[in-house]
A and B are shown apart, each in its own frame.
Chain A
């Protein structure tokens, strides 16, 4: 909005003086002075140039030249040593390097030499520029960013004339059919992309491999667990025995991983938790209900499970309810029992979806 046609309600900007330059523009009306002094200080112009040592003293210049050449020379030398080291050092060799500790010697030597080779060139060039290249400042004028009115006008004219010449205005049929023809074909590219990205989830997120009778096996040993092997205070990482037949081990593991703990039945508060367990042995999904990290830490004294990712804390004595952290829901419990041989088995699949929440999980 320019100043001359400010509509009503327009907010007006007031500035005290010219901007960035002290010349007073007389078309801006009065300038309030104070006595004979100007209202603002004047830009004094460039400060006088202070010559450098190398500008005044040929010996200093010579010294700078030698320094630059030394740096460049050092760079070449480092490259040559790099090539030698590449072949000479055993790449498996580790060595103790003070300040770093045990490190791969090959990596350290090659890296340091490469660094010297690069820094030699870089520091040399900058030093050259700073000591020997001209350091008097140049001034270039700026011009307003906008093109001249005539140029702007021409673009508009060309556009409208182009439109007229193509008879865009006169032939609406072409105009509208063109719009459609340009807008729709991308769909033909997009659809196969979207359609091909992946299958629909169906109810898969709500189901795991666990089914009634599936033995609990240790992860990664895959050995079954007898109830009497689980002493109070112990915790086992567990998978379903059927994982051995799985075609998609990682995908199945990602949902079926379970933690098995044994508590004093007295410590277990909810009756449901006791019922779903066996003699104080309880099994809970290991997949955090926040965003899915494996819940890692079991504090035996407090019976808290802690997720390493964002510190959600689940209380095993209270059906793994969240007592701290960003997760909302308790870890789902796996109902277990023992089979005829005394091995722990699942008594039912998980009753709800394990892992992070999703929109339709309530409908599982």
Chain B
């Protein structure tokens, strides 16, 4: 919509061009000739003026995406710095730099240049640390941002496209991170590549070809470092930046969602204008994120590759562990049992590797990308949503989210099964068996518990509206009874607790027409109705004015100990009555 604005704005500026040079406004003069000069040539004043007054809602959780964006920018800046010194080559050299323990060791140029950046380029170590910490922060921030978007339902229409773009961004950033981690060619990263080569081989039919194509021959070869380099500094950053630009552009066009609250509706945005408030807050926030990354980089060493030594296929790295964001895949590989590999017709099927290393990530992101469409189908809700859900108000979605997180958490834990075994003095076999079971058992439990918690929180909201806030004042009535005085909520506080709608399960219309002929979509409709019941059967209606009046009536404004209203058991029965045949055009 801002595009139409832009176009008509530019047109109008040209149409009624009143020779502005002869009478520049005071404001333009103040900003300086440059702005006027630019506008003379572009007509940008109108759209820029519009953008400056654009309103953004304020909430701490909206800063998560910002943190991701800023850490990405920090990565781009520090990465550019690194490219000036890093040599992406597997060519072997003998080290003669200033780090004594490595003198005389044969290593690749990639490794040597990374050691040089760490010891011989002034400030180089700081930039390396900033680059690595910012990358970790980027992936943390975008993951938490994604959780925010999920649990508040911000992915609903019209924002499904941005959700899908987000999942792609997230997946690509994992690959980008892995590519970067592999570049220094130290013992750890080389071992990571060794495993990656094993992953590729597990692909049916094509595995060995894939490995030879990627590594340009046998592992490790001389090509993988330069190839990963161009992927890491050119290909993926270009895609990430491009997709991100679309992502943020859509946020502007669609306007940001907001949390429900007094004065906030589905048709407005309540917040602060870009000029000056957001410019200062968001601009300032960039420096804060950068400052925090710099501080961590100054104080906490990350990836001290000089301590690991150059890559060599035979020495062993005890406790080799990937960066955190690859932990879940590593954990999956540890949990998958060996019997998933078998031979049939003389060919080897390595599902023990392929499921965790090749399928897991695309399947996970595929499911994530599909979720908004699934939910939309189940709810049959085609409206635009600009007011966020409080997570408790959609207990099933929240439960599903927590179940998925639990699954992820189990895999993450599994990646540390050896460390846990040592720290806790447990047998690694036992830990692995328990985690294998937990992968299947824990998510349903997490789902159930979360859903119950959401429903109780809703009930608590309802109670609060109906009976007010406990004041802690105990009052004695004339006839000697005691009760605690309650203070009714003011209407602004109350609104947040009552504004939502409790979804009801979809009602299945007749599955047969009046001739008793089954509708062609009957089966699909049944699945849909069942899913809808799964989503919305248990629900708590938000308190209504009538409920409040009733509560006042029998409670006299105070709380006598009474049971909370349970979930409303008002599921509409499946409607099976016959209907008129529809009039199709």
Interface residues of A (CB under 8 A from B): 1, 5-17, 19-21, 34-35, 37-41, 43-47, 86, 91-92, 100, 103-104, 106-112, 114-119, 121-126, 128-130, 133-135, 137-145, 147, 194, 197-201, 204-205, 219, 237, 239, 248, 250-251, 253-255, 257, 286, 290-297, 308-312, 322, 324-329, 355-363
Contacts and interface: CB of A to CB of B under 8 A. Distances in A.
Contacts of B273: 138
B582 A6 contact: yes
A291 B386 contact: no
Contacts of B125: 104, 106-107
A359 B384 contact: no
Given A122-B291, A197-B213, A205-B201, 13 more contacts: A8-B519, A9-B520, A11-B509, A12-B506, A13-B379, A40-B498, A43-B262, A43-B264, A145-B384, A291-B194, A291-B357, A292-B195, A358-B211
Contacts of A129: 276-277, 280-281, 284
B346 interface: yes
B581 A294 contact: no
Contact of B270 (A46, A126, A322): A46
A356 B202 contact: yes
Interface in B116-157: 119, 122-123, 125-126, 129-130
A39 B544 CA distance: 6
A291 B203 CA distance: 12
B247 interface: no
A14 B572 contact: yes
Interface string B275-314: 0110011011111111110110111110000000001111
10 contacts: A5-B585, A47-B263, A110-B123, A116-B291, A138-B55, A139-B55, A239-B314, A254-B314, A291-B197, A359-B204
A128 to B, nearest CB: 6
A362 B498 contact: no
A133 B387 contact: no
A44 B498 contact: no
A197 B285 contact: no
Contact of B208 (A143, A205, A291, A325): A205
A46 B544 contact: no
Given A125-B284, A201-B209, A141 B291 contact: no
A-B CB proximity, top 6 nearest:
A111-B298, A291-B198, A125-B284, A122-B287, A20-B266, A296-B316
Contact of A11 (B254, B277, B338, B529): B529
A114 B298 contact: yes
B582 A125 contact: no
Contact of A8 (B283, B494, B510): B510
B8 interface: no
Contact of B494 (A9, A41, A126, A312): A41
Contacts, number: 408
Contact of A125 (B270, B281, B319, B543): B281
Contacts of B583: 5
Contacts of B215: 198
Contact of B315 (A119, A144, A294): A294
Contacts of A290: 198, 333, 352-353
Contact of B295 (A111, A124, A310): A111
A112 B513 contact: no
B59 interface: no
A108 B291 contact: no
B471 interface: no
Interface in B184-240: 191, 194-195, 197-199, 201-209, 211-221, 223
A115 B130 CA distance: 11
Nearest to B338: A328
Interface in B151-176: 158
B320 A326 contact: no
Nearest to A119: B291
Nearest to B276: A133
Contacts of B340: 328
Q: Which of B287, B337, B504: most chain A CB closer than 10 A? A: B287
Q: Which of A194, A254, A291: most chain B CB closer than 10 A? A: A291
Contacts of B277: 129, 133-135
B267 A142 contact: yes
A94 B65 CA distance: 37
Contact of B219 (A20, A200, A251): A251
Given A41-B498, A119-B292, A143 B1 contact: yes
A76 to B, nearest CB: 13
Contacts of A40: 498, 542, 544-545
B341 A251 contact: no
Q: Which of A147, A293, A309, A324: most chain B CB closer than 10 A? A: A309
A308 B415 CA distance: 12
B320 to A, nearest CB: 6
Contact of B314 (A7, A205, A294, A322): A294
Contacts of A253: 312-314
A253 B492 CA distance: 72
A11 B506 contact: yes
Contact of A43 (B198, B263, B511): B263
